[in-house]
Amino acid sequence: MNVFRLIGDLSHLLAILILLWKIWKTRSCSGISGKSQFLFALVFTTRYLDLFTNFISPYNTFMKIVYIVCSCVTVYFIYVKFKATYDSNHDTFRVEFLVVPVGGLAFLVNHDFTPLEILWTFSIYLESVAILPQLFMISKTGEAETITSHYLFALGAYRALYIVNWVYRYYFEGFFDLIAIVAGCVQTILYCDFFYLYITKVLQGKKLSLPA
């Protein structure tokens, strides 16, 4: 465990908690893509099935459980508890266009053709594109609440830190996982446009809005 990885994990946790807090505090999930949140819940549940087969560390087990529980609670908030505030008219990204190709790719390109390994690979590929419905929603409405942009920034920072973590691990441990690295880079690239807007607008105290 290196410092980039740790801060990356904490940034990821922060993102998840910011989102839960925003929904709970405002009693509203407006501006949040339920589809992205559903995909993240699917990512965690398919990736962390090794909770039942492999023990790595108390930290690892704890974080996995927290991620799964928080993502499921988020989905519950959006689709059940605060359903009336869910902006489904703007959340129109076709999820099957992500899940089906990603599922196919996981079957074709993986480390090992076993159920757990294919599900892990599926979750890695799916995570890399799971934010697309959220970004699509923002591009459709042309704006995002400031708290939502903080959420996205923390999530993007987590991805960027994981890349630094892989560079570190490659040099100092000789470790690399090509599937995770390629998918992670794709995922980080998707945030670049958002990072630019975040730095030029949100950090200057303005609301994140796109030019019409």
**Contacting residues toward another protein, per CB under 8 A:** 5, 9, 12, 47, 50, 54, 56-57, 60, 63-64, 67, 111-112, 114, 117, 120, 162, 165, 177, 180
How near is the Cβ of 32 to another protein at its closest, in Å? Answer: 22
Q: In the complex, what is the shortest distance from the CB of residue 120 to another protein, in angstroms, rounded to a whole number?
A: 7
Instruction: Using the CB atoms, write b or e for 129-163: b if 16+ within 10 Å.
Output: bbbbbbbbbbeebeebbebbbbbbbbbbbbbbbbb
Closest approach, Cβ 18 to another protein, in A, equals: 18
11 alpha-carbon distance from chain centroid: 11
Q: Indicate the residue among 12 and 150 with the shorter CB distance to another protein.
A: 12
- Looking at the Cβ atoms of 64 and 140, the one nearer to another protein is 64
Closer by beta carbon to another protein, 64 or else 81: 64
92 vs 114 by CB, closer to another protein:
114
71 within 8 A of 37, measured Cβ to Cβ: yes
Closest CA to 144 of 66, 198, 212: 198
Question: Which residue lies nearer to another protein by CB, 37 or 110?
Answer: 110
CA distance 32 to 40: 13
Least distance (Å) between residue 12 CB and another protein = 7
Q: What are phi and psi of 46, to 5 degrees?
A: -80, -30
Please count the residues of the chain. Answer: 212
* Shortest distance in whole angstroms from residue 111 CB to another protein: 5
- The distance of closest approach from Cβ of residue 147 to another protein in the complex, given in angstroms and rounded to an integer, is 24
* Residue 33 CA to its chain's centroid (Å): 12
Residue 147 Cα to chain centre, angstroms = 16
- Biggest alpha carbon distance in the chain? 51
Closer residue to another protein (CB): 120 or 198: 120
Distance (Å, whole) CA 53 – CA 116: 10
